A and B are shown apart, each in its own frame.
Chain A
């Protein structure tokens, strides 16, 4: 205090006050301390911590807002509507506002009272972990308009509650093609990391296809959301906006499906399963109808099925239970599973055409090969220690036969011999790289994806020595044995195929040896206001490979497949009794893959076929789980499908030809 000039009495007293100078100094020191505190706090916040808080401030006031554009429609090949959009009044709750258990309880109880929905259900929906915590969650859909007014009028009782008019997928044909179409939902963190959705186009919170066609073609049918950077005030009101991008509605997707044939395929499958249940468990099954020429999927059915609308609008857990409780041991009740693409089963005798092709390609057989069909065969031939007996399905000796007859009667021992011969000539035991049977299987489309435009396709399994070594602890305890090959020759053992792979390989036999890529997407289009459809893009059909067989080698196989239906001894003859085989000739093969004892009924019943045999237009593959023999359970389903495709009942020529074929 430089200005202090008062006379002091020995520096002690001024105006009678004891040590006034000291008191003023103490007073001044307190003031200085306060200033030091304020300055250093200001320095700390604005200089040392500034960058961190600057980020917080920015997050506070700017938001990127995307609008979800209307998703494209999904239609069949003739323009019939499969999936479209509608608007749904939905009640959403913002979990950033309703952020304590107490507030949640209060809000949910009030909502429950107004909407007449149990608190438990609302709570389940609110705790949906698929929705990001920063986005409002739809807890109730399709509420009444008067509910919307109520929430608006009583806003203060419902903090964080909003009624939004959300676009929802709707399915005019109910459960038709449910597993193919898939469903939409908020993108999950896993999907956001995936290759499919990993690009910059997608960000957390987007509504995307989560399965089926909606997944595969998402980038076409989703359209492009508009993007806006908005500045908000503390009340969340938008005070400024900066549009970054225009909205572009999604394109419409035309599928190769034919809604009519899809419908009859699903119906035939369901009724075939119902019929099989008279004797067997028959929990599930699948069917594929494909154009052998270009791989277009005309119909694909999986049973049991569901109505996808329960997945469309923020389904509740109650609904999810309706979709079946799949476990790793038993998925027979899983309704979401698209069995023809994702299911893997041993193919049974339907595989014999593959064995035959491999035998001709590898040179152990020729189109004119004749082999015996004894009741049983022993390998190695001649018996001895370590030898194994492989039985035919019948104890009668059926004598010598060629490829066509071996298919007609489905002789097992005929194919065991081919399998053994290939194993001996080119098998794993030789220690070289040429396992020609397995190589041919891969060429024919097994052991890898067919490349269909659906997600999560199963690869199946071609058992070979490398597989055996890799899974030695699980499947191959003593290493590769020739018996594996012999079993695979009749489609049994460690071989696993999908119904779609079977369709592809039968398409190749039907079309002269081309392996096609099956696909559902046909074209993208857009309908203008006048109703004119403009096609924007055609998805081209692809031939992936050729079978290494010439026409002469395919001919006995094609003949054999016709004889399966037409021949006296044909395994599907009784299933097709009375069918106008003269008008719409079917070529096919039954298959019965054993799980346990053949007669227990725990078999995969298969029928793989194409028609018309002389100029194939359709490949039809049907299979039923735990449903007896292929000829008795699967073939009748295929017959129903063919009858519906060819409109047999309406055809005036049919009766005539039946008389001829008598």
Chain B
């Protein structure tokens, strides 16, 4: 071994500051695996959105690749935002947390005014002409950031008062979302509450009391009739073993038939006459896109998709553990919670083990807001990962 100056410095345990700084430079600590998984999931989603919509578009005399083009545009916008978010140190984001949270809540308030638009029975959109924005998607991330910032400050000193603050922080946007009404998105906030409290240091007694309060709340809601009958029917439909034609349960039966008939290898993307392409499955490019995947690509395709999600969550969890501070851990944990919950509900409902709620499958379902928010979340994760030595 040649005796150079640097070797000498190393041997005595010293290192030039510049070299040390260069070694810790964020750009050298990208998570290529996370980026690759994100890319693969997006491609997977784009292809499936195309096959799920092309036939129908064609029969309507429209551009068969219209949805594909839009999905690619959303992903490109998402990538841009990912880039921006990953270059701003996430600790600045922590400083901005109150502002971000506030804008999220204001957006949720505004969407309930005549400024917002209704679609699918929920007042949940802003229509900007060539694109639409769903504030509830963005509110998920702003809430994660806000709660992470708050709990990060507490450094594990969690008292009842802190739990109450967190409940309020999560409760305010979710209450606004219930008014829209968007029951599925509200459930994501409940999951976020649980996940963030777990990682933020809440005690077992806090969870027990919250669970009790939640139970009482559910009973009151059911008794007071805040929920429409159709909502209750929809939520409990997956428990119905012998559903009526044209009910929610029937939809479920059809999606189950679609998935199971895919078999091990699927029916292929080219064969036209499937449950999915014949419209037996509703919302096949958004909420029920997993059905299209499983029918056309079979167990192999479905398992591959789940595998990609497993990789994604492994990266998110790894970043949570590697984070330099508690705020980073909590943001990463919150994002992981959001993804795994949506995955479980979305895929679970198509297979009849979870209730039907209008939740998207991250990166795969067609939709601009959710696409941008998911890319933004990857940007945050990347940000935390890159700056774990600074």
The answer to whether B325 touches A15 (Cβ under 8 A) is yes
The answer to whether B275 touches A27 (Cβ under 8 A) is no
Q: Roughly how many angstroms separate A240 CA and B195 CA in the complex, as a whole number?
A: 50
Q: Roughly how many angstroms separate A28 CA and B343 CA in the complex, as a whole number?
A: 15
A248: interface (CB < 8 Å)? no
- Pick the residue among B195, B299, B309 that contacts A46 (CB under 8 A): B299
Q: Roughly how many angstroms separate A623 CA and B161 CA in the complex, as a whole number?
A: 107
The answer to whether A61 touches B260 (Cβ under 8 A) is no
- Considering only residues 212-229 of chain B, those with a C-beta below 8 Å from chain A are none
B338: interface (CB < 8 Å)? no
B119: interface (CB < 8 Å)? no
The answer to whether B278 touches A50 (Cβ under 8 A) is no
**A15-B325, A34-B344, A38-B347 as given contacts; A28 in contact with B317, CB under 8 Å:** yes
A239: interface (CB < 8 Å)? yes
B368: interface (CB < 8 Å)? no
The answer to whether A57 touches B299 (Cβ under 8 A) is no
Q: Roughly how many angstroms separate A239 CA and B302 CA in the complex, as a whole number?
A: 28
The answer to whether B261 touches A53 (Cβ under 8 A) is yes
Number of A-B contacts (CB under 8 A): 153
In this complex, the interface size class of chain B, counting residues with CB under 8 Å from chain A, is 35 or more
What's the nearest-Cβ distance from chain A to residue B301, in Å?
10
The answer to whether A35 touches B306 (Cβ under 8 A) is yes
- Considering only residues 207-249 of chain A, those with a C-beta below 8 Å from chain B are 231-235, 239-240
**A15-B326, A27-B199, A31-B340 as given contacts; A61 in contact with B264, CB under 8 Å:** no
The answer to whether A240 touches B273 (Cβ under 8 A) is yes
The answer to whether B264 touches A27 (Cβ under 8 A) is no
Contacts of A150 in B (CB 8 A): none
**A1-B318, A23-B199, A49-B260 as given contacts; A42 in contact with B294, CB under 8 Å:** yes
- Pick the residue among A3, A17, A235 that contacts B318 (CB under 8 A): A3
A45: interface (CB < 8 Å)? yes
What's the nearest-Cβ distance from chain A to residue B390, in Å?
15
* B343-383 vs A, Cβ < 8 Å mask (1 yes, 0 no): 11001100101000000000000000000000000000000
- Considering only residues 16-65 of chain A, those with a C-beta below 8 Å from chain B are 16-18, 20-21, 23-24, 26-28, 30-31, 34-35, 37-39, 41-43, 45-47, 49-54, 56-58, 60-61
**A27-B198, A42-B351, A46-B302 as given contacts; A234 in contact with B279, CB under 8 Å:** yes
Contacts of A43 in B (CB 8 A): 299
Contacts of B279 in A (CB 8 A): 233-235
The answer to whether A18 touches B261 (Cβ under 8 A) is no
* B11-53 vs A, Cβ < 8 Å mask (1 yes, 0 no): 0000000000000000000000000000000000000000000
The answer to whether A31 touches B313 (Cβ under 8 A) is yes
- Considering only residues 191-211 of chain A, those with a C-beta below 8 Å from chain B are none
Contacts of B254 in A (CB 8 A): 60, 234
The answer to whether A45 touches B260 (Cβ under 8 A) is yes
In this complex, the interface size class of chain A, counting residues with CB under 8 Å from chain B, is 35 or more
A96: interface (CB < 8 Å)? yes
The answer to whether B353 touches A37 (Cβ under 8 A) is yes
The answer to whether B329 touches A61 (Cβ under 8 A) is no
B249: interface (CB < 8 Å)? no
Contacts of B318 in A (CB 8 A): 1, 3
Q: Roughly how many angstroms separate A483 CA and B195 CA in the complex, as a whole number?
A: 104
The answer to whether B198 touches A54 (Cβ under 8 A) is no
Contacts of B343 in A (CB 8 A): 34, 38
Contacts of A38 in B (CB 8 A): 306, 343-344, 347-348, 351
Contacts of A16 in B (CB 8 A): 155-157, 201, 326
Q: Roughly how many angstroms separate A23 CA and B333 CA in the complex, as a whole number?
A: 11
What's the nearest-Cβ distance from chain B to residue A526, in Å?
39
Contacts of A18 in B (CB 8 A): 156, 201
What's the nearest-Cβ distance from chain B to residue A515, in Å?
61
Q: Roughly how many angstroms separate A53 CA and B200 CA in the complex, as a whole number?
A: 45
Q: Roughly how many angstroms separate A96 CA and B250 CA in the complex, as a whole number?
A: 14
Residue of A23, A38, A47, A51 with most partner-chain B CB within 10 A: A38
A4: interface (CB < 8 Å)? yes
Contacts of A50 in B (CB 8 A): 260-264
The answer to whether A1 touches B321 (Cβ under 8 A) is yes
What's the nearest-Cβ distance from chain B to residue A102, in Å?
11
What's the nearest-Cβ distance from chain B to residue A94, in Å?
11
Contacts of A235 in B (CB 8 A): 279
Q: Roughly how many angstroms separate A31 CA and B317 CA in the complex, as a whole number?
A: 10
Q: Roughly how many angstroms separate A232 CA and B279 CA in the complex, as a whole number?
A: 10
The answer to whether B198 touches A23 (Cβ under 8 A) is yes
Residue of A20, A26, A49 with most partner-chain B CB within 10 A: A20
The answer to whether B259 touches A45 (Cβ under 8 A) is yes
Contacts of B155 in A (CB 8 A): 15-17
- Pick the residue among B200, B306, B344 that contacts A42 (CB under 8 A): B306
- Pick the residue among A28, A46, A234 that contacts B294 (CB under 8 A): A46
- Considering only residues 497-526 of chain A, those with a C-beta below 8 Å from chain B are none
Contacts of B326 in A (CB 8 A): 15-17
What's the nearest-Cβ distance from chain A to residue B324, in Å?
9
Residue of A15, A34, A99 with most partner-chain B CB within 10 A: A15
The answer to whether A1 touches B317 (Cβ under 8 A) is yes
What's the nearest-Cβ distance from chain B to residue A53, in Å?
3
**A17-B156, A24-B320, A235-B279 as given contacts; A42 in contact with B302, CB under 8 Å:** yes
Residue numbers of A with Cβ under 8 A of B are 1, 3-6, 13, 15-18, 20-21, 23-24, 26-28, 30-31, 34-35, 37-39, 41-43, 45-47, 49-54, 56-58, 60-61, 96-97, 99-100, 231-235, 239-240
For the complex of A and B, 9 pairs with smallest distance between CB atoms: A53-B260, A16-B155, A57-B261, A17-B156, A16-B156, A15-B326, A50-B263, A46-B299, A233-B278
Q: List 21 A-B contacts (CB under 8 A).
A: A4-B321, A5-B322, A13-B156, A16-B156, A16-B201, A17-B200, A20-B199, A35-B306, A42-B299, A45-B259, A46-B263, A46-B299, A53-B261, A54-B260, A60-B254, A60-B278, A99-B244, A231-B273, A231-B278, A234-B280, A239-B278
